Every structure is written in structure tokens, then in C-alpha cells.
Amino acid sequence: MQKFTFYCPTEMIFGKDSENQTADLIKKYNGHNVLIVFGGGSVKKSGLLDKICAQLTSANLTVSTLGGVQPNPLVSFVNDGVKKALAEKIDFVLAIGGGSVIDTAKAIAHGIQYPDCDIWDIWTKKIALTKTTPMASIVTLAAAGSETSDSAVLTNEITKQKRGLSTPFNRPCFTIMNPELTFSAPKLQKACGCADIMMHTLERYFAKETDNYMTDYIAEGLMRDVIHYAPQMLANPEDYLSHSEIMYCGSLSHNDITGLGRTKDFSVHKFGHELSAKFNATHGASLTAMWPSWARYIYKNDIDRFAHLGNILFSISETGEQGAIKTINKMEEFFYRLGLPICLSQLTGKILDETELKYLTDMCTDSNQKTIGSFKPLNAEDVYTIFQMANH
Ligand code: NZQ
Ligand code: ZN
């Protein structure tokens, strides 16, 4: 194993009825005035929001709610949420939803500590984040892994930038993970979630550092689990076993344990974020539209690693270049079978024009001012070529 620091303090409460512990946990983390953040209404429809509000109120916690977070959540919504939280003297933020809601709640929790600042200044690091407000989540979709990750991703609708912020202050105090709460999520969102979970692992698996065997085994085991259970979950909307396996994978894939001892790559996420910012694409789908082209462009960087992964995940017996290519083909097929796009026309409904490809390249590389990724750092020319390869 190579050197690493692993800090993941989030208390994870997993299993049926785990949401019944919410009030006790908020008290444990010194919450009194709670802001519940939620999305477009699924938690109202399911009755979960009412159930949690009633539980907190009867435990003598003060509760207010903020609904309306949209997928690819917006900075302006966060700034408004901070104003509301300050006016109501909120001291604990509880997200009930998927990654978009959890990321919004993280940002509001930070904003409470920086009353006079635009939250985007924290995201662009003009203001250094050194404190936050306690926050936690009740997860309703297995996907982004935000419930234990050190990351939160926001979109600035004015500049059309989608950016993540990684900081230990993004780790929630606790997270409630009842797989049954994910049953009602739309099939496409579940599929996108599975893709995102795979991608959080792949983005760490392909790294320049070697000799991290335990990390490899964890990553490979996790991906095998997703490949096995994703189709079962999509075919059976109320199957506890598959939903629980995928939910656990979702958190592990992005709390860093699948990448210890290695540098993260995250080029495909960079492509995906720019596609989401421009076309409002769903996160998981934006990744599967780009991963095959990224992989075909860079696999020669470490042919044996691609072939090895194919052997572990898909029992591919060929080694060397043939094995590597088969691995990429099989991964692409897996995403396609989940009903996800594997190229840009399937993602956006059209072939992109030259101006759009150049725009995306500039956004990824700050107009050729920086490279992205670490497994094989990509400059603007590389990025443009990969977008071109995916543009069919
Ligand atoms: O808004 P509601 O009504 O709740 O509906 C949501 C939303 O429309 C719906 N949904 C979620 N759980 C449901 C449900 N519908 C019915 N029943 C349920 N149980 O699903 C839709 C998508 O929700 P969203 O939160 O956007 O999905 P996801 O969890 O995939 O999060 C995506 C966001 O997370 C970011 C992405 O970029 C994207 O903005 N990410 C955050 C990361 C992090 N913080 O560590 C890492 C990821 O790489 C990712 O970038
Ligand atoms: Zn992701």
C-alpha cells in the first residue's frame, strides 16, 4: 500500500426503519433548530417528509422546511436558502433526498457561517472555508455518494459552470440509509445512480500509482457487486436485497475507500459536469456518454490494468491489448443495457457542432490553461479529441 490519509467521520445508520432514529441523532449532534432541505416533491408524495417533521417536532426540535432543489442544483437556490436559514436561526441542516439535495444542504450549512458572502466565492475558493454548521442526510437515491463524501457540486446558472468543492467540512455528521426509501425513485435515476457508483470507483481505479492491492480488491469487489445487482434492482423496483447492495456500494464508492493510496483521476466527471452545465444532462448519463471514448483514448497508458479489470469483472480471458479493448466494450455494453447513453447524440439528442465541442473543451481546460485528470493528464487537444470521439 502507498501512503494515504483516510478521514470519513460520518456516522452511517443503515437498514429498514433507520429513519426512526433521526431526532435522536440530531440531538446527539447538538441540533435544535432544524432546516429540512428537500427536492421537487418526491418526499412529500411518499409521506417521508411529514413523517420526519412529526418525529422531530414531537422530540421538541424546531423544524422548518425548504423544498424545490432541482437536479444539478443551483447556487442561487443555495444563497436564498442561506438567507432563510439565518433568519430562522438554524443550527442544523437535514437533507432528505438524493445527491442534489444533500449537496444543497451542505452548501447552506457552510453559508450560515459566512452570512455576507456569495456561496460561489467559496466554491471558486475566493473565500477559504474553515467552518460549517452540522448537517446530515436521509438518502432517497443510491447514486452520488454525497452522504459520506467530502464533495458537493453546484451549478452557477449565470456563468454556466458546474463545479465541485472537496473539503472535510463536506462530510455530514450522520447519514440515514434505509434502502426501502429508494424503491420509489424513477428507473432512469436508479440506472444513472449505478453508473455514477461505477464511475466513482473507475475514476480511482485508473491511477498512476501501483501496489495498492487491498484498495484494488475493495474497488473490484464493489464493481462486481454493482454489475451483478444493478439489473436485478432495475427489474424489481421493490427488491430489498439489490437496493440494499447498491445503496451500500454508493457510499463506499465515493467516501474514498475505493481509492486509498492512489491519486483520483476524475476526467470523465469533468466532461460530465460541463455537459450537465450546458445541456442540463443527468449526472450519471453524462458520464456513461463519455467514459467509453475516454477509455479508448487512454487505455494504452496501462493496457494490462484494463485487461486485468476485464478479467475480474467480465471473465475476459484475453490479455494485453485484446483484453483491454474487450474490457472497454463490455463496460460500454453494461451501461447500454442499463438504458444509459454511450455517446453524445444519445445524451443530448443531437450531434454537437464544432462551436459546442470547442466550448466544452474550453470549459474543461479553462481555455487550455490547465490539464485535467492524473492517470493521463489531458490537455485541450486531448479533451477535444475525446469529445469528438464521443460525438456520434
Ligand atoms: O427532487 P425529487 O422530487 O426528490 O426527485 C428526485 C430527482 O428528480 C428523484 N428522486 C430521488 N429519490 C427519489 C426520487 N424520486 C422518487 N423517489 C425517490 N426515492 O431523482 C431525481 C434526481 O435526484 P438527484 O438528487 O439529482 O440525483 P443524484 O443522487 O444522482 O444526485 C446528482 C447530483 O449529485 C452530484 C451530481 O453532479 C448531481 O448534481 N454529485 C455529487 C457528488 C458528491 N456530493 O459527492 C459526487 C457525484 O460525482 C456527483 O457529481
Ligand atoms: Zn459522480
CA dist 269 and 284 (Å) reads 9
- Ligand 1: atom nearest CA of 142 is 29
Cβ(42) – ligand 1 distance below 6 Å: yes
DSSP string, 289-351: TTHHHHHHHHGGGGHHHHHHHHHHHH-----HHHHHHHHHHHHHHHHHHTT--SSHHHHHSSP
pLDDT digits (tens, 9 = 90+) for 288-346: 999 999 999 999 999 999 999 999 999 999 999 999 999 999 999 999 999 999 999 99
CA dist 163 and 266 (Å) reads 12
As a whole number of Å, the end-to-end CA separation of the chain is 41
Residue nearest to atom 39 of ligand 1 (CA): 72
Pocket test for ligand 1, best of 70, 283, 288, 291 (most atoms within 8 A of CB): 283
Pocket test for ligand 1, best of 141, 180, 251 (most atoms within 8 A of CB): 141
CA dist 330 and 154 (Å) reads 32
Cβ(259) – ligand 1 distance below 6 Å: no
Q: Determine the number of helices (DSSP H) and then strands (DSSP E) in the chain.
A: 17, 8
- Ligand 1: atom nearest CA of 71 is 26
CATH no. of 11-182:
3.40.50.1970
Domain assignments of the chain as residue spans, ordered by start: 11-182, 187-390
Residue nearest to atom 43 of ligand 1 (CA): 146
Q: What is the pLDDT of residue 367?
A: 96
Per the CB < 8 A criterion, the answer to whether 162 and 122 are in contact is no
Q: Can 11-182 and 187-390 be said to share one CATH topology?
A: no
Per the CB < 8 A criterion, the answer to whether 221 and 248 are in contact is no
Q: Select the CATH number that applies to the domain covering 187-390 from these four: 1.10.3720.10, 3.30.70.1890, 1.20.1090.10, 1.10.357.10.
A: 1.20.1090.10
Cβ(40) – ligand 1 distance below 6 Å: yes
Q: What is the pLDDT of residue 153?
A: 98
pLDDT digits (tens, 9 = 90+) for 187-235: 999 999 999 999 999 999 999 999 999 999 999 999 999 999 999 999 9
Per the CB < 8 A criterion, the answer to whether 30 and 134 are in contact is yes
Pocket test for ligand 1, best of 100, 246, 288 (most atoms within 8 A of CB): 100
Backbone angles phi, psi at 11, to 5 degrees: -80, 125
Cβ(149) – ligand 1 distance below 6 Å: yes
- Ligand 1: atom nearest CA of 276 is 37
Q: What is the pLDDT of residue 308?
A: 98
Residue nearest to atom 38 of ligand 1 (CA): 72
Residue nearest to atom 26 of ligand 1 (CA): 71
**Pairing of the two strands 161-166 and 151-156:** antiparallel
- Ligand 1: atom nearest CA of 106 is 44
Grid coordinates of 367: 481555455
Residue nearest to atom 41 of ligand 1 (CA): 144
Average pLDDT along the chain, 392 residues, taken 10 residues at a time:
96 98 98 98 97 98 98 98 98 98 98 96 97 98 98 97 97 98 98 98 96 97 98 98 98 98 97 98 98 98 98 98 98 98 98 98 97 97 98 98
CB atoms within 10 A of CB 381: 11
